[in-house]
Amino acid sequence: MTTSVMLPDNPTLDEYKKRLAELSERGVTEFARAANADELEAARIEFLGDQRGKLREFQIVLGKLPKEARPEAGRLFNAAKARLTDALELRRQEIAKLGDDSTTRPADLTMPARRSWRGAKHPVTLVIEEIEGIFRELGFTIAIGPEAETEWYNFGALNFPPNHPAMDLHDTLYLSGEGLLRTHTSPVQIRTLQRYAPPIRVLIPGRVYRRDFFDPSHAPAFEQIEGLCIDEGISFVDLKATLTRFANRFFGQRPTRFRPSFFPFTEPSAEMDVQCGVCGGQGCGVCKQTGWVEILGSGMVHPAVLEAAGVDSERYSGWAFGMGPGRIAISRYGIPDIRILYDSDVRFLEQISE
């Protein structure tokens, strides 16, 4: 606030000029000093206000000046008013700009730093690693085999009859010349049995290929995990106990069931289901109203498979299974479309792995 510029009721022209100059000087200073729009408005009312503004006094006194002094005083009054109005407008623009420009605001030291992205494991990798961990505890070791296979390892040694429909060009990707891309991880059973003598307990993760086009539930390349247990005196009880133990560890205490099935390389064969985790067995869209979700195929290894791999089927027996960790990841994380797993979108990986 400025001290009021006292103007006598009947000033001389000199007095009027002097006071008017003082007033406009003060007003210009006050406007420039205003830190924000509210302060500027208060200063405007003080100097240029219609009712009680300081300049208003000078307008009133103008009429009381001697007649010959009025023209000059009037010019000076108008000049002072224009100067104040210009100063006000200038500051108004400056303040508007200040408000927009964040660089003039002080830094907010409480603002959290940007988190750095350090990468994350793919959901299918997370599932594979968890499954491997559970089977390691049960005495299994990890084995791998080639993705480019021969027909014999992929089909023949696994007791597929010649010309089985799975060998059709519509299902299997054949390589030029000899060989094919393995359609499952089961050929690694043969390779393991050829290389190691029982007792054998192996878990075989790996990528497999089929002649499928991408759609919400199919992909031409996907992961499988094969399991194989061969020793003397192994029975279906071992299969059931081990796989039930695994399911309880992986899915929690959800009920499981075995359904009779068929695979050329196992006899008998069974598919294993776990109760649907979404509806708890009531039936919903995820489990197609059955209350169950299939998690793997399994069975007692067919004697013909043992013999093809050079293992004495009179002495040894065993069981095997195969499952799709991609399918399991999809139901575990509620992923609506399998293709998301192939997008390499790091924002998706970040959501799941943290």
Q: Which residues of this chain interact with ligand DAH, rule CB under 6 A?
A: 184, 186, 226, 263, 266, 297-299, 320-322
Residue 288 region by backbone torsions, left for phi larger than 0, else alpha for psi between -120 and 50, else beta: left
Least spacing, CB of residue 253 vs ligand DAH, in Å: 25
Q: Residue 65 or residue 239: which is nearer to ligand DAH going by CB?
A: 239
- The two tokens of residue 184 are 């499952």
Q: Residue 27 or residue 322: which is nearer to ligand DAH going by CB?
A: 322
Least spacing, CB of residue 138 vs ligand DAH, in Å: 16
Q: Residue 159 or residue 186: which is nearer to ligand DAH going by CB?
A: 186
Least spacing, CB of residue 127 vs ligand DAH, in Å: 17
Least spacing, CB of residue 186 vs ligand DAH, in Å: 4
List phi, psi (to 5°) of 323.
-140, 165
Least spacing, CB of residue 184 vs ligand DAH, in Å: 3
Q: Residue 91 or residue 201: which is nearer to ligand DAH going by CB?
A: 201
Q: What are 298's strand-pairing partners?
A: 270, 321
List phi, psi (to 5°) of 209.
-135, 140
Least spacing, CB of residue 320 vs ligand DAH, in Å: 3
Nearest to 305 by CA among 240, 225, 241, 228: 228
Least spacing, CB of residue 200 vs ligand DAH, in Å: 13
Least spacing, CB of residue 158 vs ligand DAH, in Å: 8
Beta strands in 264-351 (DSSP E): 266-275, 292-301, 317-323
Say if residues 343 and 225 touch (Cβ distance below 8 Å).
Answer: no
Dist. CA 261–CA 161, nearest whole Å: 17
DSSP output for 178-196: S-EE-SSSTHHHHHHHHHS
Specify the residue for token string 């289901």: 273
Chain residue at closest Cβ approach to ligand DAH: 322
For CA atoms 130, 133, 137, 141, the dihedral sign is positive
Nearest to 15 by CA among 3, 6, 4, 26: 6
3-state secondary structure of 259: strand
DSSP state for residue 174 in the 8-state scheme: B
Q: Residue 61 or residue 309: which is nearer to ligand DAH going by CB?
A: 309
Q: Residue 84 or residue 239: which is nearer to ligand DAH going by CB?
A: 239
Least spacing, CB of residue 111 vs ligand DAH, in Å: 53
Q: Residue 235 or residue 282: which is nearer to ligand DAH going by CB?
A: 235
Q: Residue 27 or residue 227: which is nearer to ligand DAH going by CB?
A: 227
Q: CA neighbours within 13 Å on the CB side: how many for 317?
A: 13
Dist. CA 225–CA 231, nearest whole Å: 20
Dist. CA 186–CA 208, nearest whole Å: 10
Q: Residue 205 or residue 299: which is nearer to ligand DAH going by CB?
A: 299
